[in-house]
Amino acid sequence: MRQLRFATIGSVDDGKSTLIGRLLYDSKSIFEDQLEHVEAVSKRRGDEYVDLSLLTDGLRAEREQGITIDVAHRYFATPARSFVIMDCPGHVQYTRNMVTGASTADLAIILIDARHGVVEQTRRHSILTSLLGVPHLVVCVNKMDLVDYSEERFKEIREDFENFAARLNLHDVTFLPISALKGDNVVDRTPDLSWFEGPTLLHHLENVYTASDDNRIDVRFPVQYVIRPRTTEHHDYRGYAGTVAGGVLRVGDEIVVLPSGLTSTITGIDSADGPITEAVPGAAITILLADDLSVTRGDMICRPHNRPRVVQDHEAMLCWLDSNAQLQTNKLYTLKHTTRSTRAKVSEVRYVLDISELHRKEPTGPLAMNDIARVVIHTAEPLLRDDYDHNRVTGSFILVDESTGATAAAGMLLPPRE
Amino acid sequence: MRPGITGLEDEAITIIREVAACFERPVILFSGGKDSVVMLHVAVRAFAPAKLPFAIMHVDTGHNFPEVIEFRDRCLAGFGLDLTVASVQAAIDAGKVADAPSRNPLQTVALLEAIAENKFDAVLGGGRRDEERARAKERVFSHRDTFGQWDPKNQRPELWNIYNTSLRPGEHFRVFPISNWTELDVWSYIQMHNIELPSLYFAHRRPVFRRDGMLMAETEFLHAEAGEEVFEEQVRFRTVGDATCTAAVESSAVSIADVVAETSIARVTERGATRADDKISEAGMEDRKRQGYF
Ligand SMILES: Nc1nc2c(ncn2[C@@H]2O[C@H](COP(=O)(O)OP(=O)(O)OP(=O)(O)O)[C@@H](O)[C@H]2O)c(=O)[nH]1
Ligand SMILES: [Mg+2]
């Protein structure tokens, strides 16, 4: 089975970190010294039970406040599969860190406190998951122990979520009742949830089929760095280093370099292990061309009859992340897209997403932290871009505030407006 | 992403090349320990057949195992690379810091001074997220302010594989290309490429004594105190650092394959098994990192 990268998301205190702790504990993936440490800290604080969220909530401030602030990365494997976990914060103030964790996930586990049901932050995280294109979602109705393991309550929340999510771009959604604290239906089945006929969470995670979301059709190779040895032995070597963002490149392929439009042929592909004949998405390689073209970082190599769009005006969904500054339309930001950095301004905010109703509303003021909006962006140089739906690498970008260096926003490119 | 170690190496190479493209004065921290050896191998492979476009620096506490220093120099000579040494001993001699039983925290002073002196703007380290709970939270491109400080509550978001490399004067980045590797991944890579390491990583007999439940090596830098009995044991080191605070573990793993097998069934983390100084406080690593530690 392919490795699974999953993120835990959902509102603050709904039990994400406890769930990760439980999953690691019950699958016997905790190292002895780590367990001793959380036992000792729990005991010192006078907790009634061992607080498994301490396994991932490792920062001083997190422990003081009892919340997660930033994403924790954990790696574990069962005999069936290996996993990368990104335990994200639920607090609205740290949504930017949740987005960080979810942006590379194959699957998101969204937790809902069975007592509170779907709340605003559940909706915000679901919308972000859908925008980021996370392919699979597991909705865990947690803290079932606090609602007497009520099947009715589980069904009620499921219905609520389904009604709301029907308007989102979420494909594969699975619902599970659990108690992270007591360990019900996380790794083991327990009598309290005997009415539930579906799988345990771990069983589901081990078996969910994730096709790689790599685009293997459309060749996209953003040039990252030019390798020129300047030695007598490799006097004429000029290689274009980068990481394949889409398609399969082969020696002998005819290619075009964008934005110049010059064409050539691939004469060699060097990998870390030496020459290879073809390179798939994700591979970090160096390409050699038949002709001496002027190619630099920020250019893109693709096939002559399958090119990204080369434009300066862009439609995009923008998630504003900066807590210290709001969007200023017409201010210059640095936009980073694949290996290309260019100056950019947001010329128009078309609409802002209303989190609770999923309505499009008129912007009432400048975009601020956690706003999600559809915008029009103008770049000083053209981007060599695809729609985010088509290719996550060539369809995503960030905006950097030049005065502070902060990552102000994350964007996903959309098709042009008709 | 390609599966397994290949995918991890792809990611590391991408990060390393991004550093070369976006920074003026990058440096690789190299201690001769397994993580920095692996990082260096990957970095050299990332630019072949050209030369590695980075400086190399070791922050030497002055209390390193001689086998490691010997290996460090031999390994770099093999690659034809020059080394800058930032010396904790020199900082002590110059009166900049007071010597302490563990020189581990003192490394921060020597490191930050060398960064400022050499105007390094990107400092590559072999830190991994599976090592420790504060590291588990850190970005791949981790921003440092003009005092070299890490602000864990205010990290820049890091989406997809787009890295914000923007700096203001006097600031720098710490960059961790093997963030997502585990101890087992590192050893599997070493096995795959048959990479040479300091002999300390393999089982050997040496005089040791027990302190705080850990096996400390009796060396010129650290001696057993009254009541601590010195005995000979077959041990190896899972991490190599300052000899005063790095413990050995009992082991019979004499080859890379043995170590891979041992690592895959380990029940204690490498830091838990070997780092005396981390046992002290709940947030020891975080506190050191805030001040500018690796
Ligand atoms: N009774 C009960 N309590 C739970 C359960 N899961 C979590 N809790 C408690 O809920 C509180 C919050 O748990 P966390 O795991 O820290 O919540 P979180 O979702 O990680 O919170 P943030 O990361 O800050 O958003 C803790 O006191 C947990 O012990 C559960 O299944 N049942
Ligand atoms: Mg949490």
- Those residues whose C-beta lies under 8 Å from the C-beta of residue B250, and which sit 6 or more positions away, are B215, B233, B234, B235
pLDDT category, A234, cuts 50, 70, 90?
A: confident
On the question of pLDDT at A241 being above 60, the answer is yes
Span A380-392, average pLDDT: 96
Residue from the list A34, A212, A227 with its beta carbon closest to the beta carbon of B50:
A227
In this predicted model, what pLDDT tens digit does every residue of B48-94 receive, in sequence order? Answer: 999 999 999 999 888 888 899 999 999 999 999 999 998 888 888 88
Mean pLDDT to the nearest integer, A33-46: 88
pLDDT, one tens digit per residue, over A105-131 is: 999 999 999 999 999 999 999 999 999
Candidates B49, B161, B269; nearest CB to A34? B269
Domains in chain A: how many in total?
3
For range A238-261, the mean pLDDT: 97
Give residue for tokens 């260019």.
Answer: A342
Same domain? A162 vs A294 = no
Residue A50 alpha carbon to ligand 1 centre in Å: 12
User: Of A68-72, A245-249, B92-96, which gets the smallest average pLDDT?
Assistant: B92-96
Q: Is B281 on the interface with A (CB under 8 A)?
A: no
- Choice among A61-65, A295-299, B20-24 with the minimum mean pLDDT: A61-65
What was the pLDDT predicted at B277?
59
Gap between the Cα atoms of B238 and B262, Å rounded: 11
Q: Which of A12, A17, A18, A192 to mutate to test the pocket of ligand 1 (most atoms within 8 A of CB)?
A: A18
How far is the alpha carbon of A136 from chain B, nearest alpha carbon, in Å? 17
Q: Following DSSP, what letter does each residue of chain B receive, concatenated?
A: --SHHHHHHHHHHHHHHHHHHH-SSEEEE--SSHHHHHHHHHHHHHHTTSPP-SEEEEEE-S---HHHHHHHHHHHHHHT---EEEEHHHHHHTTSS---S--TTTHHHHHHHHHHHHT-SEEE----TTS-TTGGG--SEEEE-TT----GGGPPP--TT-------TT-EEEE-TTTT--HHHHHHHHHHHT----GGGS-EEEEEEEETTEEEE--SS----TTPPPEEEEEE-SS---TTTB-BEE----SHHHHHHHHHT-SS-HHHHHBGGGGS-TTHHHHHHHHT--
Query: Which residues of chain A neighbour B50 with C-beta distances below 8 Å?
Result: 227-231, 234, 237
- Prior bond to A259 cis, omega within 30? yes
Residues of chain A neighbouring B152 (CB-CB closer than 8 A): 59, 61, 69-70
| pLDDT-above-70 percentage for chain A | 100
Report strand pairing: A340-353 vs A360-361: antiparallel
Whether residue A313 is found in the same domain as residue A298 = no
- The backbone torsions φ and ψ at residue B7, rounded to the nearest 5 degrees and listed phi first, read -65, -40
The yes-or-no verdict on residue B1 having pLDDT over 90 is no
Do the beta carbons of residue A233 and residue A261 sit within 8 Å?
Answer: no
Ligand 1 pocket, mutate which of A20, A147, A181 (most atoms under 8 A from CB):
A181
Q: Does B98 contact chain A (CB < 8 Å)?
A: no
Domain with B145, as residue range(s), is: 4-184+283-291
Chain length of chain B: 294
Same domain, B31 and B176: yes
> In this predicted model, what pLDDT tens digit does every residue of A324-360 receive, in sequence order?
999 998 899 999 999 999 999 999 999 999 888 788 9
User: What pLDDT is recorded for position A3?
Assistant: 92
Asked if residue A250 and residue A200 are part of one domain, the reply reads: no
Q: Answer whether residue B39 is part of any domain.
A: yes
**Same domain membership, residue B221 and residue B167:** no
Tally of structural domains, chain B: 2
Do A204 and A236 reside in the same domain of the chain? Answer: no
What is the atom index within ligand 1 of the atom nearest the CA of A62?
24
Q: Which residue, chain included where needed, has tokens 């093999």?
A: B78
- The closest of A4, A6, A16 to A178, measured between CA atoms, is A16
Ligand showing the shortest atom-to-Cα distance for residue A180:
1
Residue B103 confidence (pLDDT) above 80: no
Domain shared by B173 and B99, yes or no:
yes
Q: Which of B50, B159, B287 sits opposite A229 (nearest CB)?
A: B50
* Greatest C-alpha distance within chain B: 56
Shared domain check, A78 and A168: yes
Q: Is the same domain home to A206 and A332? A: no
Which residue's alpha carbon is nearest to atom 9 within ligand 1?
A: A15
- Do both A186 and A286 map to the same domain? no
CA of B127 relative to ligand 2 center, distance in Å: 23
**B262 and B139 co-located in one domain:** no
**Pairing of the two strands A172-177 and A136-142:** parallel
Of residues B247 and B44, more confidence is placed in: B44
Mean pLDDT on B249-262: 93
Do B135 and B41 reside in the same domain of the chain?
Answer: yes
CB contact under 8 A, B3 and A34: no
Q: How far apart are CA B272 and CA B212, in angstroms?
A: 12
Q: Which of B44, B15, B48 is nearest to A274 (CA)?
A: B48
Q: Residue B278 — very low, low, confident or very high, per pLDDT cuts 50/70/90? A: low
pLDDT in tens, A159-172: 999 999 998 988 89
One domain, residues A13 and A119: yes
What distance in Å separates the CA atoms of residue A236 and residue A364, rounded to the nearest whole number? Answer: 59
Helices B183-193 and B4-22 pack at an angle, to 10 degrees, of 90
Cβ–Cβ gap A243/B283 under 8 Å:
no
Worst-scoring range by mean pLDDT, A41-50, A66-75, B145-154?
A41-50
Residue B191 lies in a domain: no
**Helix/strand/coil (H/E/C) assignment for every residue in chain A:** CCCEEEEEEECCCCCHHHHHHHHHHHCCCCCHHHHHHHHHHHHHHCCCCCCHHHHCCCCHHHHHHCCCCCCEEEEEECCCCEEEEEECCCCHHHHHHHHHHHCCCCEEEEEEECCCCCCHHHHHHHHHHHHHCCCEEEEEEECHHHHCCCHHHHHHHHHHHHHHHCCCCCCEEEEEECECCCCECCCECCHHHCCCCCCCHHHHHHHCCCCCCCCCCCCEEECCEEECCCCCCCCCCCEEEEECCECCEECCCEEEEECCCEEEEEEEEEECCEEECEECCCCEEEEEECCCCCCCCCCEEEECCECCEEEEEEEEEEEECCCCCCCCCCCCEEEEECCEEEEEEEEEEEEEECCCCCCEECCCCCCCCCCEEEEEEEEEEEEEECCCCCCCCCCEEEEECCCCCCEEEEEEEECCCC
SS (H, E, C) B100-151: CCCCCCCHHHHHHHHHHHHCCCEEECCCCCCCCCCHHHCCCEEEECCCCCCC
In this prediction, residue B144 carries a pLDDT of 95
Q: Which of A194, A212, A230 is the last residue of a domain?
A: A212
Q: Looking at the predicted structure, is the pLDDT value of residue A271 above 90?
A: yes
Global pTM value: 0.95
Partner-chain contact B137 A71, CB within 8 Å: yes
Q: Count CB-CB contacts under 10 A for residue B119.
A: 10
A112 and A142 both lie in a single domain: yes
The pLDDT assigned to B110 comes to: 85
Record: contact A406-B272, CB cut-off 8 A? no
Q: Which of A14-23, B183-192, B270-279 has the lowest mean pLDDT?
A: B270-279
**pLDDT of B281:** 65
**Do B220 and B255 have their domain in common?**
yes
pLDDT, average across residues B100-126: 88
The complex scores an ipTM of 0.95
Whether A294 and A314 share a structural domain: no
User: What are the C-alpha distances in Å from B184 to residues A232, B9, B180, B237, B260?
Assistant: 40, 14, 11, 15, 7
Residue of B nearest to A233 (CA): B49
A284 close to B2: Cβ distance less than 8 angstroms: no
Query: Quick check: is B193 in a domain?
Result: no
B204 and B175, same structural domain?
no
The whole domain housing A330 covers 309-414
Pocket of ligand 1 (CB under 6 A): A 12-18, 53, 67-68, 89-91, 111, 142-143, 145-146, 179-181
Average pLDDT of span A189-202: 96
Answer whether residue B226 shows pLDDT above 90. no
Whether B96 is covered by a domain: the verdict is yes
Residues measured by CB to lie within 5 Å of ligand 2, the ion: A 16-17, 68
Mutation target vs A (from B162, B171, B178, B181; most A CBs, 10 A cutoff): B162
State the closest ligand 1 atom to the C-alpha of A20, by its place in the atom list counted from 1: 15
Residue minimizing CA distance to atom 13 of ligand 1: A15
Q: Are B203 and B105 in a shared domain?
A: no
Check whether residue A206 and residue A239 sit in a common domain.
no
The predicted model gives B214-223 an average pLDDT of 84
The CATH number that applies at residue A410 is 2.40.30.10
| Chain A residues close to B21, C-beta within 8 Å | 224-225, 297, 339
> What gap in Å lies between CA A152 and CA A141, rounded to an integer?
12
Same domain, yes or no: A93 and A207:
yes
Same structural domain, B226 and B269? yes
Pairing of strands A82-87, A4-10: parallel
Residue B279 above 60 pLDDT? no
Q: Mean of the per-residue pLDDT values for chain B? A: 90
Chain A residues touching B156 at Cβ < 8 A: 405-407
Q: Is residue B189 part of a domain?
A: no
Output the pLDDT for position A194.
95
- Res A400: pLDDT: 98
* pLDDT tens-digit map of A50-65: 899 998 998 989 988 9
Residues of B with Cβ-Cβ distance to A55 under 8 angstroms? 133
Among A286, A302, A318, the domain boundary falls at: A302
Domain end point (choices A302, A333, A349) = A302
CA distance B45 to chain A (A): 5
Predicted confidence at residue A176, as pLDDT, reads 98
Does any CB of chain A come closer than 8 Å to the CB of residue B265?
no
Q: Residue B105, preceding bond cis, omega within 30 degrees?
A: no
The whole-angstrom separation of Cα A370 and Cα B33 is 42
Residue B69 shares a structural domain with residue B102: yes
Q: Are A279 and A219 in contact (CB under 8 A)?
A: no
Q: What is the CATH number of the domain that holds B137?
A: 3.40.50.620
Which of A38, A42, A75, A319 is the best mutation test for B, with the most CBs of B within 10 A? A75
- The rounded distance, in Å, linking the Cα atoms of A76 and A53 is 16
CA of A81 relative to ligand 1 center, distance in Å: 26
Domain identity same for B234 and B272: yes
B135 and B25 in a common domain = yes
Q: Show the tokens assigned to B48.
A: 């072949």
With CB atoms and an 8 Å threshold, state whether A407 touches B10: no
Q: How far apart are CA A184 and CA A200, in angstroms?
A: 9
Interface of B with A in 137-156 (CB under 8 A): 137, 143, 152-153, 155-156
Size of chain A, expressed as the number of residues it contains: 418
